[in-house]
Each structure stands twice: as structure tokens, then as C-alpha cells.
């Protein structure tokens, strides 16, 4: 799906006006609407994802406070138990009254009575503290239950948004296929460059988890940031869907995090490209490669080389086009820079 949509929408041959050729103008209104709707669904997904993250942090904080309060409650109960045993060590409570009954001096008797009164007040205060602590533990449990319920609702919203994205992009793909058929019926359809060059990209040191202990790394380094997410330009029919890194051809391109290769391809606006699926549910795309060094199903660690940068596809010069997506499909991208920074990558 990514290749089909990208061929028309991400490249210069994408729908821009009614004069683009047979079927392309008619595709524009429908496909543009679907892509906008998918973009709205992506925003809804990220909003729900952010709420889930905040809810998880809040739940963890409540759990820590609940555990601390439970420890205080256990300590108070233990103290209360020791005090009770001390108070009732004499038969029928004589342990407290004995000094009053046996004192040879009125002053001593008075002092003993004061101490007994203080002991009673201390016992009442301790009992009150136990009750208050028990109530706080109950409040924490109730708060945890509310948070769990809220997290479940946010997870459902996130799941619904992902399904909406996939449905919208599936419809967009159908529009693209119909437009392709109309274009091909009228004559050859132009495509982006790319010779789908594959081969060994060894000889480059692996940077990342095995070397630096980092879970997430830059896709290329060093590099200069060029066209950013959402920017305009004459090389694409819509706003830019990723982040470009200006690097010379042949620069090692690395997996930003551990993941599995779910797509490799060439021949459209993205040229030679690789898409990875990561354990957190996100996907990353690496495009315009001069060489692909992995195949579908390959499992990569953070920092492992997956290809070499290049200038295949719809480009004006060598660079890496990097995307972060909600799904494997083109059209589900989010801004890569905040995503990388949120994982500790300095870009």
C-alpha cells in the first residue's frame, strides 16, 4: 500500500490538479479527502497515546503512594498492638491502675494519674492515625481503579483511531489503484527512480545498543537537518511526510531502535526504502537509499546498518528521508523529531 499511494501522492506525479492526466484530477478530491481524514485519525491516535502515557505515569505514582501509605499503616498497627499488650499486661486492666492504688504519696498518685491520662490520649491519637491511614489507603485504591478504567477507555480510543487510519488508507489505496488503471490505459505512467539495489552493507561499525547501551539512536550521524515534517515543496504534491537528513551518498543508515523489517521496495517517489516495525507499535521508514542491506523479516537492533543513503526516487540530491508512522502505510506519519527526542535521541 505504501508504494502504491506514494507513487501518486508522495512523488511529483501525485494529484495536484485536474490537468494532471486521465483519472489523476478525479483522484485528487477523493484521495486528498481520505488522506486528510487519515491525518485527523493520526492526530486522534497521538492524543489518545499521550493520554495513555500520562495515565500510566499517574497510575504508577498513585501505586507508589499507596504502597508507602500501606507501610505506614502496617507500622501504626504494629505500634498500636504493642501498646495494647502493654496496657493490658495486668489482670482486668490493673497495669494502668496499679500505681494509683499503691502510691504512698498523693503527689505520686497524681503524677501516675497524669501519666495514665497521657497514655489514654496517646492511644486515642494512635487509633485516629490508624483510621486516617486506612482511609487514605482506601482512597488510593479507589483512585487506582478510576485510573485503570480511564486507561482502558483511552486504549480503546487509540485502537479505534488506528483502525480508522488503516480503513482510510485502504480506501485511498483503492482510489490510487483505479487511477493507475486509468493512467496506464492512456499510456505509460511516470514513476520515481530507483534500481532496487540490494547487497552487502557490511564493513560499517554497529552503533547503538551493543556499543553505547542506547535503546534509540539517530538514523544517520553526522547529518544536517533539511526539509522538516509538514513543510511544503515542489518535489511533493502534499506537505512533507517526514524529516530529511542531508548526508552524502553511501552514508550508513541505521535502525533507530530494535525492530523487524516489514517492507522493502523501490521504484516510486521514495526510491529504495525500508520500513521497520518496533515493539511499541510504531513504524519507521528509511527512503531514497542507494543500497538496501536487509530483507523482510530481518530483525535489527538499535544502530544496526540497514542500508546506505542515496538519491533514488523523487529527490533533488542525496539525503535520507525518515518517517515515523502509526501504521506501515504512507499517510500515517507523525513528526519524527519530537518522537526521537522523547526517546532520548538528540536531534
Q: Which residues contact 224 (CB under 8 A, 6 or more apart)?
A: 245, 246, 247
Q: Which of 190, 216, 246 is the last residue of a domain?
A: 190
Q: Are residues 34 and 71 in the same domain?
A: yes
Classify 202 as helix, strand or coil: coil
Q: For residue 7, what is its C-alpha cell? A: 507513487
Q: Are residues 179 and 299 in the same domain?
A: no
pLDDT of 190: 45
Q: Are residues 234 and 257 in the same domain?
A: yes
Q: Are residues 249 and 292 in the same domain?
A: yes
Q: Are residues 257 and 232 in the same domain?
A: yes
Q: Which residues contact 250 (CB under 8 A, 6 or more apart)?
A: 290, 308, 309, 310
In contact, 192 and 267? CB cutoff 8 Å: yes
- Rama region for 188: left / alpha / beta (φ>0; ψ in -120 to 50; rest): beta
Q: Which residues contact 204 (CB under 8 A, 6 or more apart)?
A: 252, 305
CATH at residue 237: 2.70.70.10
Q: Are residues 221 and 318 in the same domain?
A: yes
Q: Are residues 185 and 250 in the same domain?
A: no
Q: Which of 190, 207, 228 is the last residue of a domain?
A: 190
Q: Are residues 171 and 251 in the same domain?
A: no
Q: Are residues 171 and 200 in the same domain?
A: no
The residue range of the domain holding 135 is 1-190
pLDDT of 49: 77
| Of 248, 193, 208, 176, residue with least CA distance to 23 | 176
CATH at residue 8: 1.10.287
Q: Which residues contact 227 (CB under 8 A, 6 or more apart)?
A: 233, 240, 243, 244
Q: Which residues contact 160 (CB under 8 A, 6 or more apart)?
A: none
CA 59 to centroid of chain Cα atoms: 17
pLDDT of 79: 78
pLDDT of 181: 63
In contact, 284 and 339? CB cutoff 8 Å: no
Q: Are residues 217 and 88 in the same domain?
A: no
| Of 262, 273, 266, residue with least CA distance to 307 | 273
Count Cβ neighbours within 10 Å for each residue of 151-189 and write b for 16 or more, e otherwise.
beebeebbeebbebbbebbebbbebbeebbebbeeeeeb
pLDDT of 343: 92
pLDDT of 276: 97
pLDDT of 16: 31
In contact, 242 and 269? CB cutoff 8 Å: no
In contact, 10 and 314? CB cutoff 8 Å: yes
Which pLDDT tens digits describe the chain residue by residue (347 residues)? 444 444 444 433 333 332 333 334 444 566 667 666 777 777 777 777 777 778 788 888 888 888 887 888 788 778 777 777 776 654 444 455 545 444 555 555 455 454 555 556 767 777 777 788 888 888 888 888 888 888 788 778 777 877 777 777 777 767 666 665 665 565 554 444 445 667 666 655 554 444 456 799 999 999 899 988 887 655 545 678 899 999 999 999 999 999 999 999 987 788 999 999 999 889 999 999 999 999 999 999 999 999 999 999 888 889 999 999 988 888 788 899 999 999 999 98
Q: Which of 141, 171, 190 is the last residue of a domain?
A: 190
| Of 91, 89, 92, 84, residue with least CA distance to 119 | 84
How far is Cα 144 from Cα 135, in angstroms, rounded to an integer? 14
Q: Are residues 16 and 124 in the same domain?
A: yes
Q: Return the CA Rg of the chain.
A: 33
Q: For residue 119, what is its C-alpha cell? A: 497514655
> What's the structural domain count of the chain?
2
Q: Are residues 316 and 343 in the same domain?
A: yes
Amino acid at each position: 500500500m505504501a508504494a502504491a499511494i506514494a507513487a501518486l501522492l508522495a512523488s511529483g506525479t501525485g494529484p495536484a490538479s485536474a490537468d494532471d492526466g486521465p483519472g489523476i484530477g478525479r483522484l485528487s478530491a477523493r484521495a486528498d479527502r481520505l488522506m486528510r481524514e487519515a491525518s485527523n485519525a493520526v492526530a486522534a491516535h497521538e492524543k489518545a497515546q499521550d493520554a495513555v502515557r500520562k495515565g500510566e505515569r499517574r497510575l504508577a505514582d498513585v501505586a507508589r503512594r499507596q504502597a508507602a501509605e500501606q507501610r505506614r499503616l502496617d507500622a501504626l498497627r504494629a505500634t498500636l498492638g504493642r501498646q495494647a499488650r502493654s496496657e493490658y499486661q495486668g489482670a482486668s486492666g490493673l497495669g494502668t491502675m496499679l500505681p494509683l492504688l499503691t502510691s504512698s504519696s498523693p503527689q505520686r498518685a497524681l503524677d501516675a494519674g497524669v501519666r495514665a491520662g497521657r497514655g489514654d490520649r496517646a492511644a486515642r491519637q494512635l487509633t485516629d492515625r490508624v483510621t486516617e491511614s486506612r482511609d487514605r489507603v482506601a482512597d488510593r485504591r479507589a483512585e487506582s481503579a478510576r485510573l485503570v478504567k480511564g486507561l482502558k477507555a483511552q486504549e480503546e480510543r487509540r485502537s479505534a483511531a488506528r483502525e480508522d487510519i488503516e480503513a482510510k488508507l485502504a480506501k485511498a489505496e483503492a482510489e490510487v489503484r483505479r487511477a493507475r488503471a486509468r493512467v496506464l490505459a492512456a499510456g505509460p505512467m511516470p514513476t520515481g527512480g530507483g534500481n532496487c539495489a540490494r547487497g552487502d552493507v557490511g564493513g560499517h561499525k554497529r552503533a547503538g545498543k551493543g556499543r553505547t547501551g542506547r535503546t534509540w539512536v539517530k538514523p544517520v550521524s553526522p547529518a544536517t537537518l533539511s526539509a522538516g515534517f509538514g513543510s511544503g515543496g515542489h518535489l511533493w504534491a502534499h506537505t512533507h511526510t517526514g524529516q530529511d537528513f542531508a548526508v552524502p551518498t553511501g552514508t550508513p543508515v541505521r535502525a533507530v531502535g530494535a525492530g523487524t523489517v516489514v517492507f522493502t521496495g523501490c521504484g516510486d517517489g521514495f526510491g529504495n526504502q525500508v520500513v521497520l516495525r518496533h515493539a511499541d507499535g510504531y513504524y519507521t521508514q528509511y527512503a531514497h537509499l542507494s543500497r538496501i542491506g536487509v530483507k523482510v523479516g530481518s530483525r535489527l537492533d538499535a544502530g544496526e546498518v540497514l542500508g546506505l543513503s542515496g538519491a533514488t526516487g523523487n529527490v533533488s540530491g542525496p539525503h535520507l528521508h525518515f518517517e515515523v508512522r502509526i501504521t506501515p502505510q504512507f499517510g500515517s506519519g507523525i513528526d519524527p523529531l519530537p518522537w526521537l527526542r522523547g526517546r532520548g535521541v538528540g536531534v
